[in-house]
């Protein structure tokens, strides 16, 4: 019975220690990212108040995001070309000169080809994912609440930081919602 208690305490200590060490592993890249080119941590009274893992970004998430962004951008261009086509059609309806009629018809034909081409265009920004497993982790999301002294005022902010899968490098941050 005594050995079981010692084993339980040892397992508990190791599991708690591992959790704290992963959080402390995140502290350095986040601090370096925030204070890059700044004063020292002590001079700015920088302190991490709270930090926890908030999720991951996997290959499938990235592909979905890039595909959605590509579709939005493509639709914006299609809408602009369609508007130009509509304006050319309106001008065509009002003109009486044969040279203008020929010019507007040619312009409309070119715009129709461009619109069809854009509608069939596939995303070209996914080349880096060809041989990747959809469940591969690209980044860890760590939510961090910190305080920092700016111009004599103590400010507290919460951001989601995007770290490398091993937690050693910070890619960027977004304000936590």
pLDDT digits (tens, 9 = 90+) for 97-156: 999 999 999 999 999 999 999 999 988 888 888 888 999 999 999 999 999 887 778 889
Residues 64 and 104 in one domain: yes
> Measured at the alpha carbon of residue 52, what is the angle toward residues 56 and 64, in degrees to the nearest 5?
20
Residues 105 and 49 in one domain: no
**How does DSSP assign 120-134, residue by residue?**
TPPP-S-GGGTT--T
Residue 14 lies in a domain: no
Residues 155 and 95 in one domain: no
Residue 5 lies in a domain: no
Q: Residue 108: which domain range? A: 60-129
The model's confidence at residue 38, banded by pLDDT at 50, 70 and 90, is low
Residues 46 and 29 in one domain: yes
**How does DSSP assign 26-48, residue by residue?**
HHHHHHHHHTTTS--TTTTT-EE
Residues 49 and 94 in one domain: no
Residues 115 and 65 in one domain: yes
pLDDT digits (tens, 9 = 90+) for 41-85: 666 788 899 999 999 999 999 999 999 999 999 999 999 999 999
Residue 143 lies in a domain: yes
**How far is it, in rounded angstroms, from Cα 92 to Cα 63?**
43
Q: What is the three-class DSSP state of 171?
A: strand
Strand partners, 118: none
The residue-averaged pLDDT of 30-35 equals 87
Residue 114 lies in a domain: yes
- Number of domains the chain is built from: 2
Kind and range of the H or E element at 58?
A: strand 47-58
Q: Are 49 and 147 in contact (CB under 8 A)?
A: yes
Residue 119 lies in a domain: yes
Q: What is the pLDDT of residue 154?
A: 87
Predicted confidence (pLDDT) at residue 22 exceeds the cutoff of 60 = no
């Amino acid at each position: 019975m005594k050995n079981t208690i010692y084993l339980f305490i040892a397992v508990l200590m190791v599991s708690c220690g591992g959790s704290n060490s992963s959080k402390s592993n995140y502290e350095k890249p986040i601090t370096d990212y925030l204070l890059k080119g700044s004063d020292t941590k002590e001079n700015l009274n920088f302190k991490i108040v709270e930090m926890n893992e908030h999720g991951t970004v996997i290959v499938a998430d990235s592909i979905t995001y890039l595909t959605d962004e590509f579709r939005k951008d493509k639709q914006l261009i299609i809408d602009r070309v369609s508007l130009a086509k509509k304006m050319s059609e309106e001008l065509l309806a009002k003109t009486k000169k044969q040279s203008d009629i020929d010019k507007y018809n040619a312009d409309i034909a070119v715009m129709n080809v461009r619109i069809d081409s854009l509608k069939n265009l596939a995303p070209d920004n996914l080349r880096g994912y060809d041989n990747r497993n959809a469940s591969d982790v690209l980044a860890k999301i760590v939510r961090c609440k910190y305080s920092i002294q700016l111009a004599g005022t103590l400010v507290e902010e919460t951001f989601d930081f995007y770290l490398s899968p091993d937690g050693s490098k910070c890619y960027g941050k977004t304000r936590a919602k």
